[in-house]
Amino acid sequence: MKLNFTIAILLFSVFCLGQNYNIGMQVLKNDLKLNTYAKDSSSNALVIYDYGNSYIDKKTFKLVFQLKQKIKILKTDGIERGEFKVKLYKGKSSKETIRNIKGATFNLVNGEIEKIELKKNGIFKEENENYTLVKIVLPKVKVGSVITISYETESKFISKYQPWYFQGQDPVLYSEYNTSIPGNYEYHIKLVGNIPLATNDTKLEKKCLEVGNGGFAHCSVSKYIMKEIPAYKDEGFTTTPLNYMSRLEYELSVLRGFDGSVDKITNTWEYADREFKNDSDFGKQINKKSLVKKVLPNDISNIGEPLDKAKAIYNYVLDNYNWDKKYGRFDASVKDLLKDKVGNAFEINLLLLNLLFNENFEVYPVLISTRERGLATKLYPILTEFDYVIVSVKINGNTYFLDATNPYLSFGELPYRCLNQYGRLMDLKEGSYWVDIDPKKYSVRQHRVQLNSFDETSISGELASNFSGYHSHALKRKFDENIQNYKKIKAENYTNFEVNNLEVLDFDKKDLNFKERIDFTFEPEFIGNKIYLNPFLITFFEENPFKIQERTYPIDFGYKDSYLYVMSIDLGNDLKILEIPKSLNYALPNKSGSFICNYEAKNNKLSLYFKVKFDKAIYESEYYPYLKTFMDKVIEAQKNSIIVLEKQ
């Protein structure tokens, strides 16, 4: 009775989980009748059941992977889910294989279930040098269909144990992954993403693998389950999806032979440091005074103040060496850069490091993984994950991160591609360690508008703008490359007013700020002697960038942000205020951001103060609904604010 009761409870919980979908490979009428998923009405398909199993075969000692899936097609764009692709890799002496391919499409016809099974003519193979691509095309897939697929693959390549993606482009009701790993294979197992496991069970199976002469291995048998997994929907303000898509990954760390041999595949950071120190592309290229002994001119070497000298060295590299747009993790040569004046990022930044070291600065290389490549693993060293190097220099108690590939960055700024949370500082004497890469300064965009001349048909004014940090880089580059074209395009982009004159002030491409001033006129709406005016001649955001129903990964701006818009209207004796919008004040949780829109009439002047601040470079996914609401309020204030003035 106790056992039966337990089974009943289990079945009830599965029933609730599926919202009337049947969890498992069996297809019922309920699966075919239901055509929406309440938790995500925008989804094109729903993965009802996702099952995987990986183990080492007792006879062949190859890695076997079994897959079973059941998917509901909800919309026309989901019909393409009926085509599956399996990539089978080829090695020098072995290749992966696939077998037991089975599939079917289920439709509801006249109230009855119609099952159309996959035939051999629905399986295609494409060959190239590195892999075989197997395409499986299920028949008669349409909106409302339920499709099932199952197959097995066999592989000799066990250094990367079969990974498992719980999360993908569609929501998943139930995802289960089972593994059996013999004790002579030790893997680093990494759970990526922030969705918790519903089940994480491991037990020991004795003598799961046996060889001749009494050799055997025990197996670690694990079961991992996630339920009701939202789809991963790519949206702005993020890095690569691989940083956050929920999955299990395996990296072989130790291989123990039945003869007693031990092969350490993944090493410690202490070992990696020694490798880097002796590496011809890295360790042999740093802290070599002989390489750069006579490179710097005397007027830079003779600068006494350390920060001024460091800036001069940084600017010298920017002015004399050009980046070839390559990262250059391998085959780096500072010697070749000095000769050719053109080089990759590794060469340019290692030259900068050597010049600073030669002038007795405390300086270190920092290995990073760029935003598009993904976050580097912290648990153990995977050296191939690092594709870029920057420079850390300590001056007067402060640490500066430098990159000399972009002449439009100021001292202490990194290219946006480098803002990927952290890097590995390579102190080859004392040992490497992780450092946070977190820009402290706000990047600011601000506009100050003065309206000071009203006539019968138009209003004249002045706009003073300042762009700093990451808001300035592209503008500085465009202005420097073609001044006239920059002014022309800028004037065309301002659609709410006519640009009469545009002037860029005190331009220095290495300065943190980019400033410009514009004289303009525009025509507000006149009705009789009343003037209807939207005070936002410039808007920071045209639409809310946050649109999806649920987001499971962080909102990564890369840097802290601030937007300021100030307008002042000189009313004189001819204008009277009839109506102004309400002032607004809104904040994100934990004082992590704020929005203020304040109107004030005083001394014959009407002023608007509008400021939006994002006080975090990265917001956890829990902030998403608040950011969504926050941006709605910001855009509403920009687009629908009206001031009504009356001419006396």
Question: Over the stretch 610-648, which tens digit does the pLDDT of each residue have?
Answer: 999 999 999 999 999 999 999 999 999 999 999 999 987
Taken in order 453, 454, 457, 460, the sign of the CA dihedral is positive
Q: What confidence category does residue 19 fall into, taking pLDDT thresholds of 50, 70 and 90? A: low
The amino acid present at 126, given as its one-letter code, is E
Q: Does residue 209 surpass a pLDDT of 50? A: yes
**Of 81-85, 412-416, 495-499, where does mean pLDDT reach its minimum?**
495-499
Q: Residue 450 contacts by C-beta under 8 Å, 6 or more apart in sequence? A: 461, 462, 463, 464, 567, 568, 570
Average pLDDT of every residue of the chain: 92
How high is the pLDDT of residue 302? 95
For residues 12 and 9, give the distance between their C-alpha atoms in angstroms, rounded to a whole number.
5
For residues 96 and 130, give the distance between their C-alpha atoms in angstroms, rounded to a whole number.
11
- Give the residue from 588, 553, 486 showing the smallest Cα distance to 235: 553
For residues 72 and 465, give the distance between their C-alpha atoms in angstroms, rounded to a whole number.
53
Instruction: Look at residue 355 and give its three-state secondary structure.
Output: helix
Using DSSP, how many helices (H) and how many strands (E) does the chain show?
10, 36
- Give the residue from 477, 513, 510, 515 showing the smallest Cα distance to 319: 510
Q: How distant, in Å, are the alpha carbons of 11, 12, 173, 384 from that of 6?
A: 9, 10, 22, 49
Question: Over the stretch 401-420, which tens digit does the pLDDT of each residue have?
Answer: 999 999 999 999 999 999 99
How high is the pLDDT of residue 6? 36
Looking at the DSSP assignment, which residues form a beta bridge with residue 123? 136
**CATH class label, 269-437:** alpha beta
Looking at the DSSP assignment, which residues form a beta bridge with residue 388? 368
CA angle 72, 76, 80 (to 5 degrees): 70
What are the phi and psi torsion angles at 361 (to 5°)? Answer: -85, 150
For residues 343 and 277, give the distance between their C-alpha atoms in angstroms, rounded to a whole number.
22
Q: What confidence category does residue 128 fall into, taking pLDDT thresholds of 50, 70 and 90? A: very high
Q: Does residue 12 surpass a pLDDT of 50? A: no
CB 27 within 8 A of CB 117: no
- Per-residue pLDDT averaged across 26-52, rounded? 95
Asked if the domains at 2-264 and 269-437 fall in one CATH topology, the answer is no
- Strands (E) located in 162-215: 164-165, 172-182, 185-192, 199-210
**Of 273-287, 355-369, 586-600, 615-629, where does mean pLDDT reach its minimum?**
273-287
Query: What is the fold, at CATH topology level, of the domain defined by 443-647?
Result: Jelly Rolls (2.60.120)
Which overall architecture, per CATH, does domain 2-264 show? Sandwich (2.60)
Question: Over the stretch 286-321, which tens digit does the pLDDT of each residue have?
Answer: 877 788 888 999 999 999 999 999 999 999 999 999
For residues 68 and 101, give the distance between their C-alpha atoms in angstroms, rounded to a whole number.
10
Which of 10-19, 259-268, 541-550 is the most confident on average? Answer: 541-550
How high is the pLDDT of residue 4? 40
**Of 102-111, 328-337, 464-473, 544-553, where does mean pLDDT reach its minimum?**
328-337
Query: What are the boundaries of each domain within the chain?
Result: 2-264, 269-437, 443-647
Six token digits for residue 434: 């992780």
Alpha helices in 230-366 (DSSP H): 269-277, 298-301, 306-320, 334-340, 345-358
Q: Does residue 69 surpass a pLDDT of 60? A: yes
Query: How many residues are there in the chain?
Result: 648
Q: How distant, in Å, are the alpha carbons of 301, 361, 486 from that of 297?
A: 7, 17, 35
For residues 534 and 299, give the distance between their C-alpha atoms in angstroms, rounded to a whole number.
55
CA angle 67, 70, 75 (to 5 degrees): 135
Q: Residue 392 contacts by C-beta under 8 Å, 6 or more apart in sequence? A: 363, 364, 365, 366, 399, 400, 401, 402, 425, 435
Q: Does residue 571 surpass a pLDDT of 60? A: yes
For residues 395 and 247, give the distance between their C-alpha atoms in angstroms, rounded to a whole number.
42
| Buried residues in 389-417 as b, exposed as e (16+ CB within 10 A) | bbbbbebeeeebbbbbbbbbbbbbbbbbb
Q: Does residue 24 surpass a pLDDT of 70? A: yes
For residues 645 and 340, give the distance between their C-alpha atoms in angstroms, rounded to a whole number.
65
